[in-house]
């Protein structure tokens, strides 16, 4: 069974109807200002498409982890302000989710308008493990749409969650798949079912444990895995290298050794760094030097040093691997890209993706944030995912509750 699409909803007619859209607006804030509006810009096309067709668009989304309580630091007010600046149609904000403000604002919303409801995670029922509690919130959200409402899931970054506004809501309203979700699924299916080879996967980030299942699943599909970021030190220690005071997961050493052996059986190359940027401390102004992986504890700070980026030799090698590929999936930075001294490895990978002729996919999360922070044009990549965790779970072979719910 396949999901009904947004085009189907538009063909049925939405003029005068209230359409509830689940968007992914979980953006970083600093001092109450949005510092990366990538997810907002990605969400606007569907909202504006509905508004221009005459719908009254109600938007529900989350921000951060307020743990089921109203917390001003997680209010969507700054998001609403940025949406209003970027949107070509009017954007209003409700001061609550399903309370008096939302009810009145929904009733007053004109055709072609957008109303952003307050953070859905302010309500503990959104993430409750009790299905009845989630269903109750879903019913209240549906009630905001009146008697002829519809629901569109356009929040790919949330589809791996069994939450009220993601899964349970589809039992209350006719449900449709948003364009953003559709596009993500097309790309991920291409990566898993029919990648053009050579197929290279670049994995980074801090912990091996975050990527265990995806590594295991992709070994049977990819030709090459390039490993960087903090997770690489568990691999290097598993091979017997000293890693100083670098981040490591000792309880995953045997698992990593198993990966190295399994990759050989699958004919998949796991390529590890040959040099590392070792620093005296986790700080932007820390003293640092490039050392070969065989001698990471031989520098000025000995065993107290910690690795914060891949070295230039590794960055060049990774870039060559990417350049020789026809499909590349990248998830996770190569180092602490937020600090200029340790951003070179991540920048080298991003640059290589913009220069190759391969089909390139940036797997959301920190990788997408790095692309924008480091000043790369998004048009230089084949696809930038809005859902890091959801992308990984799809590539792990897991079912996604939000996608399953649309196929009822």
Which tokens hold the place of 271?
């390529």
Which tokens hold the place of 283?
């700080």
295 to 111, 360, 380: CA distances (angstroms): 66, 34, 37
Q: Which domains does the chain have, with CATH numbers?
A: 6-181 (3.40.50.1260), 195-396 (3.40.50.1260)
pLDDT tens digits for range 156-190? 999 999 999 999 999 999 999 999 999 999 999 99
Residue 177 φ/ψ, nearest 5 degrees: -90, 125
Name the residue with tokens 């991540």. 346
Confirm whether residue 366 is marked as ligand binding. yes
Which positions are catalytic? 39, 207, 365, 389
Confirm whether residue 62 is marked as ligand binding. yes
> Edge to edge, what strands does the sheet with 175-177 contain?
91-93, 114-116, 56-60, 18-22, 150-153, 175-177
Separation of alpha carbons 405 and 158, rounded Å: 13
Confirm whether residue 209 is marked as ligand binding. no
Cβ proximity of 41 and 368 under 8 Å: no
pLDDT tens digits for range 192-220? 888 999 999 999 988 888 888 889 888 88
pTM > 0.75: yes or no = yes
pLDDT-derived band at 1 (thresholds 50, 70, 90) equals: low
Cβ proximity of 212 and 334 under 8 Å: no
Question: Can the peptide bond before residue 197 be classed as cis, meaning omega within 30 degrees of 0?
Answer: no
DSSP 81-150: HHHHHH-SS-EEE-SSSSSHHHHHHHHHPPTT-EEEPP-GGGSTTTT-S-HHHHHHHHHHHHHTTGGG-E
pLDDT tens digits for range 250-275? 999 999 999 999 998 999 999 999 99
Confirm whether residue 257 is marked as ligand binding. no
Separation of alpha carbons 275 and 282, rounded Å: 18
């Amino acid at each position: 069974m396949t999901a009904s699409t947004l085009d189907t909803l538009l063909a049925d007619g939405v003029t005068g109807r209230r359409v509830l859209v689940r968007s992914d607006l979980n953006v970083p804030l600093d001092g109450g200002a949005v510092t990366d509006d990538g997810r907002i810009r990605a969400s606007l096309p569907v909202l504006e498409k509905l508004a221009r067709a005459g719908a009254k668009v109600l938007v529900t989304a989350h921000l951060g982890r307020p743990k089921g309580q109203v917390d001003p630091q997680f209010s969507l007010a700054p998001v609403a302000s940025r949406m209003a600046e970027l949107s070509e149609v009017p954007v209003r904000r409700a001061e609550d989710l399903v309370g008096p403000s939302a009810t009145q604002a929904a009733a007053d919303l004109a055709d072609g308008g957008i109303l952003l409801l307050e953070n859905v995670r302010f309500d503990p029922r959104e993430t409750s493990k009790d299905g009845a509690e989630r269903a109750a919130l879903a019913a209240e959200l549906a009630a905001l749409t009146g008697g002829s409402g519809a629901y569109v899931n356009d929040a790919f970054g949330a589809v791996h969650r069994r939450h009220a506004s993601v899964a349970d809501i589809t039992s209350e309203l006719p449900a449709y798949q948003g364009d953003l979700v559709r596009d993500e699924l097309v790309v991920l299916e291409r990566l898993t079912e029919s990648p053009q080879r050579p197929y290279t996967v670049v994995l980074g980030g801090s912990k091996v444990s975050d990527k265990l299942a995806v590594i295991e699943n992709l070994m049977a599909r990819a030709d090459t895995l390039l490993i960087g970021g903090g997770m690489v030190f568990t691999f290097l220690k598993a091979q017997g290298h000293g890693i100083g005071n670098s981040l490591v997961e000792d309880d995953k050493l045997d698992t990593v050794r198993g990966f190295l052996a399994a990759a050989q059986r699958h004919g998949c190359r796991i390529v590890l760094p040959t040099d590392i940027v070792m620093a005296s401390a986790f700080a932007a102004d820390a003293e640092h030097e490039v050392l070969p992986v065989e001698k990471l504890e031989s520098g000025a700070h000995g065993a107290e040093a910690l690795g914060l980026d891949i070295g230039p030799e590794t960055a060049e090698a990774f870039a060559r691997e990417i350049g020789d590929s026809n499909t590349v999936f990248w998830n996770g930075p190569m180092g602490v890209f937020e600090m200029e001294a340790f951003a070179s490895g991540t920048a080298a990978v991003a640059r290589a993706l913009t220069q190759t002729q391969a089909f390139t996919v940036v797997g959301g999360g920190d990788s997408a944030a790095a692309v924008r922070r480091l000043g790369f044009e998004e048009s230089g990549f084949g696809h930038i995912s809005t859902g890091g965790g959801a992308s990984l779970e799809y590539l792990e072979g897991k079912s996604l509750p939000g996608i399953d719910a649309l196929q009822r």
